[in-house]
Structure 1
Amino acid sequence: MNAPLPLTPSAEAGQAPVAPPAGGKIGRALMLEAVHAAPAGSRVQWMVGQSGLDAARVLADVAAALGLRPMAMEELQGITPDFELISFADCQARACLGGWSTDASGRTLRAVVVSDPLDLKAQEWIDLQLGGAAPDEVVRGLALLEDVQAWLTHAERNLMAMGKGDAEGDAAGPGDAETADASVVTLSIAGIETTQNPLVRLVDSILYDALKMGASDIHFETQPAGLHVKYRIDGVLENVKRIDSAEMGHQAISRIKVLSELDISERRTPQDGRFKVRVERREIDFRVSIMPNLFGEDAVLRVLDRKHLTGQFQTLSLDTLSFAQSAKDFIRQASSLPYGLLLVTGPTGSGKTTTLYAAISEINTGLDKIITIEDPIEYQLKGVLQIPVNEKKGLTFARGLRSVLRHDPDKIMVGEIRDAETAQIAVQAALTGHQVFTTVHANNVFDVIGRFKNMNVDSYSLVSALTGIVAQRLLRAVCAHCAAPAGMAAEELLRLGIPADRLDLGQAKFMRAVGCPHCRGTGYKGRLAIAETLEMDDDIRDLLVRQAPIAQIKQVARGKGFMSLRDSAVALAMGGQTTVEEINRVTPRENSQSPQGMQPTEAAHA
């Protein structure tokens, strides 16, 4: 670019292959050979293989020879995408990227990064796109091909819906189309491309992309100038598309309401619905929530891929979850009791239902009658009677639970306790010889008692029925392919709410998120479960019945080995499985940490 080599195809056409560089440095001869021996786009990788040097060294040598700046993934993440400078399609085709960067003095400069600096045609084309910009106004960089691709994937997810994916197996066969339910939307690459209606094509592509990226929720947020679309992936919302048309945004919401059989003329009150789509010969449910806002309406779609999850959960057990061993032992012991109430608490999407199904799967020996009542049924379990709530037909949790008790059950799972009637029936069932599993929304194990008190459940009855409480969260795990060590000073840990004097820093292995193709440039891939558990022994029961202060109950529990959610999260960070930034995002800071018995391998062990 700034100092291009005269590497025309005829210049060295008859030259013999060049030996690997001497002295451990990439020279001009090897770069000349790469032009003829390696295809465009893969010449840096070819030089890595020929030289025997590591990729970072080759990148630095080639960049120095050509007057470019070598850029690792961390530096690429500092570039703001600008697909008006170089279009996204051109970036993909030429394995380059364009955007804006800030230099040390705070100036905003155009940035262009290539992965093949020996492609003269590409250099000339990029110079044309820059329109004769002065050299000091442009940052010209060189990066590895995989890093450029990861940057593009990340930018694609944040600025626009995904492009074409792998269409193999996406389209349903002719037989499937003939037998398909007319109310089920079939999504495929071919179908989206051939759809003439731009609104239908827009909504279908958003749904399809969400499924391909493994999103758990899709958010349509109406803004004054249009619509923003976000996916929740690994528990975090990420921008994927912006529609700069208020009318198109309103029509997209109406399209979702039509699919969900909701009233498109009603825009002043919330509405709930659901619909199904068919992708790759399997049906996927979407739960829809429509909410009015200042500029129109918002929509949130929860993705429920039952068939896929059911296949995954055929071998589900507590050992397949990433809880600390002590938490798994507690849940296993509490779920094996002949009667009592096991409560699992946490926010929406924290894995409560998965934990309960893991416990039920382990005790499902065929000797007991197991019945669940859920809204909706998220996973299908063999040998378990599962009842879906249908409030439109009058089948609520409370009414269903009453009927379940007349069906001779041994074990009962109530998907969620939402009201006083359901809470009282569940407690009475646990007191009359049934094992009851259920969930409730509370911040931690100590707040659960207050939730039931607000529902007018007698404290003595609740404490007598309770066998244990589990509170859980999900943390993003650092990507194993790109995570880098992070030196954490005592002062920095203290600033982040982790008292360093209470931790064994000598054994700690803190990591930081970097980003690579495996994690789409985010630095995180997958999630880990953490939990705090409270066993109902005589001391704890006595304190709860006497309505002792929470501080006193916590003190007694800690004396018995209680580990909070924060303790478990810190242990994962010390073990190098997540980052300090992630544990601060998910768990609140505490006035004191409890290091007793908290080793990184304990909570990090999956």
Structure 2
Amino acid sequence: MRQRLTTPSAADHPGRLAPWRTARSTGPSQLATIAATAAVILQPAILHAQEFQRGDGFYVSWWKVLILLPFVWIWVKGCDFVNTDSQRIGDDIAMPQDVWTPIVVFTFMVLFFVSLLIPNFIGCVAVCAVASLAPVLTYVFMRNAKVNPEIRVLTPKHISEWLKGGGKRGVVERTLPHEQGAPVEFQPIGAGGGEQLIRARGNVPSYLLVKQLVADLIDRAADRAMFDYSAEQVEVRFDVDGVWHPLEPRDRESGDALLESFKLLCGADPKDRRGRQHGEFKCKYKKEKYSGSLTSQGTKTGERVLVAIDYGDKFNTLEEIGMREKLREVASKHIRGSAGMVLISAMPTGGLSTLWTVTMKSTDRFTRDFVCLIDKGKKEPAVENLAVHEYDLAAGQTPDQLIPQILLREPEVLVAPEPPNGETVRMLCHQVNQEHQLSIISVRAKEVSEALLRVLLLKAPPVDFAKAIKCVINVRLVRKLCKDCKMAYEPSPQDLQRLGIPPGRVQYLYTEYQPPPPDSDQKPLPPCETCGGIGYRGRTGLFEVLEVNDAVRQVLAKQPKLELLRQAARQAGCRTLQEEGILLVAKGETSLNELRRVLRG
């Protein structure tokens, strides 16, 4: 009879839903049969589990491990050598430390673990040997091909010295010939920089002269060194804080040797003593990095060479450069203003580039779109978030040719250091007067009044310029007295009267160190270590800040004459450089002699 599926009721299995099942029930006899069958099937596995016993361990073959340990030791020593050697000379020979150290480290590690998977122990040893030796020997082979013979390693000479030294590292760790002398480390520049550096080191005595020169420049805080070559000797001068100081002349032989190595270092031709040459270099001295340049030009008597050191940005804010708080408030109001033209001015070597850079850093260039128009032939320090557009003035290009295209991007501020023509100024004035934008320009001038006239001499429209100009800033850099050796003296009433200082306001003024007279019993002090016996260390600024008013604009538009502009600026509340300088003299920051020197310039 055909069976049928039935649905059990909840009564059959109280407390849960009844599952589907067949009509035939599973009885106790069937369950017993299933249990017996399972016991028969699982019995061997259970017996095997009961019979298994763990061994005593020591399954690693220690004698094989001992055979592999020397290769690990070779790898460690090789890594140490490559890391140390590439750190010392890697950059010079285009084999940098951050490339070769990982190569030696990870090549062995990968191959070592791969060798452990090889069933044949001889094959494992062979792979370990290759992994420990091949990367180091590759580095040595490539290194030796790029260095001088006396510093090559694993050569017969080096191995002989190593054995004589009792297994010490010898050549690798000793001071290399070019590492002697002043602790200046030159760094290669560009693709051929390593080769230039190696060639410069070829003549070690000359190379050491170059290192000593750069060290002397930095120790004295000198910006430039001038060498004038004549038939018999070489005149040497250092520019320290804007003042040239003569040094002892060099003999022609040592001067020529120094120049030859320096030209090789900078990529110039040492045989060319007539044409103009220019090269750059980078170095590290006392954990600080510097960049510099060498420029040479033939003269009637021989050759003139100028070596310059770039110390980076010495000033970052208007306060650091020495601008008083009241003047900073006026200047900041306009260089951060929404509209108007600001004019920056200074002497050619009196701080124009410094003031321009500090002014750019003091603007709100991170919240507005600044565009700078600059001549390709001029170098100004890079300023963040300042979009630079270059024009080639030597090729006849002027910034007014770029402005229409730049305006399509709708910049908010246009700045132009030393605009070369009046058309550029006219277009900038149009943006200020018609589009209500901010513009900042610079010119070379001794004072704010002269700066205004310098812009008009470019044939800028007087009316448009007078309407656009809002503020004029002028600076003179003055040397600060050395705090360690400056001397105090009591000024006479006549001196105070000439300076305009009220009696009793200042008890002492200060000057640079003066040695005692020759007939005095007092012995002169040794040169000051801080300033090198110069008496001054560092510079600060004297500022004229003119906030242009209607009276100044009227003179500028109708009668642009220097004396009339001076009178109008004076009436507008602009203090002169002399008045600002007297404040520094009264504070003891500079001397009266230094103030006279700066104002005469």
Distance in structure 2 (CA, Å) of the matches to 1:260 and 1:419: 35
Secondary structure (helix, strand or coil) at the match of 2:600 reads coil
> Who is 1:580 aligned against?
592
> Who is 1:206 aligned against?
213
- Tell me the CA shift for residue 528 of structure 1: 1.4
- Tell me the CA shift for residue 225 of structure 1: 2.6
Q: Structure 1 counterpart of 2:222, which letter? A: A
Q: How does 1:268-287 map to 2 (within 5 A)?
A: 271=276, 273-279=278-284, 284-287=290-293
Give CA-to-partner distance per residue, 1:380-413, whole Å, 9 cap, x none.
3333324566667887655555654444321233
Distance in structure 2 (CA, Å) of the matches to 1:462 and 1:518: 47
Secondary structure (helix, strand or coil) at the match of 1:556 reads helix
> Who is 1:568 aligned against?
580
- Tell me the CA shift for residue 277 of structure 1: 1.9
- Tell me the CA shift for residue 571 of structure 1: 1.6
> Who is 1:342 aligned against?
342
- Tell me the CA shift for residue 239 of structure 1: 2.8
Q: Structure 2 counterpart of 1:446, which letter? A: S
- Tell me the CA shift for residue 448 of structure 1: 1.8
Conservation of the 8 A alpha-carbon contact between 1:342 and 1:468: yes
Distance in structure 1 (CA, Å) of the matches to 2:331 and 2:274: 44
Shift in CA distance, 333/534, structure 1 to aligned 2, threshold 3 Å: same
Secondary structure (helix, strand or coil) at the match of 1:228 reads strand
Q: Which has the higher contact order (CA 8 A, sep 6+)?
A: 1
- Tell me the CA shift for residue 229 of structure 1: 2.4
Distance in structure 1 (CA, Å) of the matches to 2:404 and 2:293: 26
> Who is 1:32 aligned against?
none
Distance in structure 2 (CA, Å) of the matches to 1:402 and 1:359: 25
Q: How does 1:259-298 map to 2 (within 5 A)?
A: 271=276, 273-279=278-284, 284-298=290-304
Secondary structure (helix, strand or coil) at the match of 2:533 reads coil
Larger Rg: 2
Conservation of the 8 A alpha-carbon contact between 1:342 and 1:437: yes
Q: 1:182 aligns with which of 192, 209, 222?
A: 192
Give CA-to-partner distance per residue, 1:49-92, whole Å, 9 cap, x none.
xxxxxxxxxxxxxxxxxxxxxxxxxxxxxxxxxxxxxxxxxxxx
Shift in CA distance, 446/278, structure 1 to aligned 2, threshold 3 Å: same
Asked if residue 221 in structure 1 is aligned to residue 228 in structure 2, the reply is: yes
Secondary structure (helix, strand or coil) at the match of 1:460 reads helix
Q: How does 1:381-460 map to 2 (within 5 A)?
A: 381-387=383-389, 404-420=406-422, 422-431=424-433, 432-460=435-463
- Tell me the CA shift for residue 200 of structure 1: 4.2
Asked if residue 544 in structure 1 is aligned to residue 560 in structure 2, the reply is: no
Q: Structure 2 counterpart of 1:277, which letter? A: K
> Who is 1:196 aligned against?
203
Q: 2:492 aligns with which of 469, 476, 489?
A: 489
Conservation of the 8 A alpha-carbon contact between 1:187 and 1:278: no
Mean Cα displacement is larger for which, 281-290 or 548-557?
281-290
Mean Cα displacement is larger for which, 334-343 or 207-216?
207-216
Distance in structure 2 (CA, Å) of the matches to 1:503 and 1:181: 61
Conservation of the 8 A alpha-carbon contact between 2:373 and 2:399: yes
Shift in CA distance, 420/288, structure 1 to aligned 2, threshold 3 Å: farther
Distance in structure 2 (CA, Å) of the matches to 1:251 and 1:429: 56
Shift in CA distance, 535/290, structure 1 to aligned 2, threshold 3 Å: farther
Give CA-to-partner distance per residue, 1:344-393, whole Å, 9 cap, x none.
11123433333333333343363211223445554333333245666678
Distance in structure 2 (CA, Å) of the matches to 1:422 and 1:289: 32
Q: 2:531 aligns with which of 507, 514, 519?
A: 519
Asked if residue 559 in structure 1 is aligned to residue 571 in structure 2, the reply is: yes
Conservation of the 8 A alpha-carbon contact between 2:391 and 2:399: yes
Distance in structure 1 (CA, Å) of the matches to 2:358 and 2:540: 15
- The runs of 5 or more residues in structure 1 that have no matched partner are 1-162, 590-606
Distance in structure 2 (CA, Å) of the matches to 1:563 and 1:391: 36
Give CA-to-partner distance per residue, 1:539-580, whole Å, 9 cap, x none.
100011112543333223223322111111112112211100
Give CA-to-partner distance per residue, 1:282-325, whole Å, 9 cap, x none.
7644355544433123233443344xx3xx76xx3323331122
Q: Structure 2 counterpart of 1:482, which letter? A: C
Shift in CA distance, 586/291, structure 1 to aligned 2, threshold 3 Å: farther
Q: Structure 2 counterpart of 1:500, which letter? A: R
- Tell me the CA shift for residue 336 of structure 1: 1.8
- Tell me the CA shift for residue 513 of structure 1: 1.3
Conservation of the 8 A alpha-carbon contact between 2:422 and 2:458: yes
> Superposition RMSD on alpha carbons, in Å?
3.8
Mean Cα displacement is larger for which, 511-520 or 427-436?
427-436
Distance in structure 2 (CA, Å) of the matches to 1:364 and 1:347: 26
Q: How does 1:287-366 map to 2 (within 5 A)?
A: 287-306=293-312, 309=313, 316-364=316-364, 366=366
Mean Cα displacement is larger for which, 440-449 or 381-390?
381-390
> Who is 2:242 aligned against?
235
- Tell me the CA shift for residue 490 of structure 1: 4.4
Shift in CA distance, 392/524, structure 1 to aligned 2, threshold 3 Å: same
Shift in CA distance, 255/406, structure 1 to aligned 2, threshold 3 Å: farther
- Tell me the CA shift for residue 326 of structure 1: 2.7
Distance in structure 2 (CA, Å) of the matches to 1:400 and 1:284: 34
Equivalenced residue count is 404
Distance in structure 2 (CA, Å) of the matches to 1:381 and 1:505: 46
Distance in structure 2 (CA, Å) of the matches to 1:547 and 1:258: 56
> Who is 1:471 aligned against?
474
- Tell me the CA shift for residue 235 of structure 1: 1.7
Shift in CA distance, 206/334, structure 1 to aligned 2, threshold 3 Å: same
Distance in structure 1 (CA, Å) of the matches to 2:380 and 2:195: 20
- The runs of 5 or more residues in structure 2 that have no matched partner are 1-179, 514-526
Q: TM-score by structure 2 length?
A: 0.58
- Tell me the CA shift for residue 180 of structure 1: 6.7
